[in-house]
Amino acid sequence: MASTTAFTYNELIAAIQTWLEDDSSELIAALPDIVAMGESRVYTDFNLEIFNRVRLDTLTVDVNEQPIKSATWQGTRSIHITPVGGGIRTYLERRTYEWCVDFEPLLTNTGAPVYFAELNETEYFMTPAPDVAYPVIVREISQPDALTVGNQTTWLSDQQGDILLDACMVEAEQYTKSDQYDVDKWKQFYMEKLPTRRMELRDMIRSDYSPIANAARTVDDRP
């Protein structure tokens, strides 16, 4: 079952220090990084839909390179465009950059984009280049709000506090002169809980959207 242990940021910091029995200035200075790395480990391993974000933006006319990735972008789940003025949304299919260039080698050709590629960490490459400023809906993997002294609670600290502590301890042991047994112990605690938690949250695990085309049908010509 889900964790009944919840932590605020300050409580988590105190718990890490208690388990490590270390109040050195070096560890205290490293604690924010330890919590951030522990969160990152759990967020990545849980891979939940609730950590996706849906953003609305507008495409730039006449260019293939579209700088519409957010500052917290970590990956793309889906992109849809909408006709200017409203209408039915269209799903853009993901392809490689080379595939997109081959699809529409004349950069002067424009139209409603059909395909996109991950060009770099800030831009998509879309083909053909937009002929008008289409509204776009991007569903992306995004870095969730971090647990900090100014943000004392998050969904993870409230709902999965014990496994978050385990993850933080795995990271914290690397900052101390602990026996390897201690590191392995916390890793074991973490890995034992992870499959069960993922099973409990399986309906929220992320998956890429890909429209399914209608299956071909044979025509029955019998009277």
- Whether residues 56 and 96 share a domain: the answer is yes
Both 54 and 137 in a single domain? Answer: yes
Range of the domain at 124: 50-142
Comparing 220 with 63, the larger pLDDT belongs to 63
Shared domain check, 153 and 44: yes
Same domain, 78 and 184: no
Contact between 51 and 131 under an 8 Å Cβ cutoff? The reply is no
- Contact between 40 and 112 under an 8 Å Cβ cutoff? The reply is no
pLDDT (tens digit, 9 = 90+) per residue, 94-151? 999 999 999 988 878 899 999 999 999 999 999 999 999 999 999 998 878 889 999 9
Q: What is the pLDDT of residues 25-37, one digit of tens each?
A: 888 899 999 999 9
Q: What is the DSSP string of 92-157?
A: PEE--HHHHHHHS--TT-EES--EEEE-SSS-EEEESEESS--EEEEEEEEPPPPPBTTB---HHH
What is the distance between the terminal CA atoms of the chain, rounded to a whole angstrom?
A: 59
One domain for residues 126 and 152: no
Structural domain contains residue 154: yes
Structural domain includes residue 211: no
Are residues 175 and 127 part of one domain? no
How, if at all, do strands 110-111 and 129-130 pair? parallel
Domain annotation covers residue 183: yes
pTM beyond 0.85: the answer is no
| Whether residue 130 sits in one domain with residue 113 | yes
Per-residue model confidence (pLDDT) at position 83: 93
**Same domain, yes or no: 33 and 76:** no
Number of residues that make up the chain: 223
Is residue 76 pLDDT above 60, yes or no? Answer: yes
Instruction: Verify that 121 and 72 share a domain, yes or no.
Output: yes
| Total of domains in the chain | 2
Residue 191 CA, chain-centre distance (Å), reads 21
Three-state secondary structure call for residue 33: helix
Single-letter amino acid, residue 36: A
Residues 76 and 115 in one domain: yes
Q: Does 213 have pLDDT greater than 60?
A: no
- Asked whether residue 132 falls in the same domain as residue 176, the answer is no
* Per-residue model confidence (pLDDT) at position 220: 47
Question: Of 142, 159, 194, which residue constitutes the final position of a domain?
Answer: 142
Confidence of residue 216 (pLDDT cuts 50, 70, 90): very low
The answer to the question of residue 155 being in a domain is yes
| Residue 107 lies inside a defined structural domain of this protein | yes
Query: Does residue 1 fall inside a structural domain?
Result: no
Same domain, 54 and 84: yes
